Copies of this chain bind each other. A is one copy, B any other.
Amino acid sequence: MTVKIIELVGTSPENFGEAVENAVERASRTIRNISGVDIIKFSAKTEKGKIVEYRANVKIAFTVEDGEGV
């Protein structure tokens, strides 16, 4: 078994948890077999003193399937 790890930045207008979930949801559209997520960094964009975008840098791990490129 070989696992591949990719780095995504999920975003949300609401909170950090949703930013992570959005990254996972987006990845799962084209990747089966996601096994886990490591959160690397949280950050946020602000406008007029308010957070307008929550961001989560995540590493997503998934099993590479037979016959699939890495």
Contact residue among B34, B60, B70 (Cβ-Cβ distance under 8 Å from A27): B70
**A21-50 toward B: CB 8 Å interface, digit per residue (1/0)?**
111111111110011111101111110111
**Known interface pairs A16-B17, A26-B64, A36-B44; A4-B11 also in contact (CB < 8 Å):** no
Contact residue among B3, B4, B22, B46 (Cβ-Cβ distance under 8 Å from A36): B46
Alpha-carbon distance A33/B2, docked complex (angstroms): 19
**Pair A2/B21 contact, Cβ less than 8 Å:** no
In the complex, besides A7-B59, A17-B54, 14 extra interface pairs with C-beta distance below 8 angstroms are: A2-B10, A2-B11, A3-B8, A4-B9, A5-B7, A5-B57, A24-B44, A26-B64, A29-B69, A31-B70, A34-B49, A36-B43, A36-B45, A37-B43
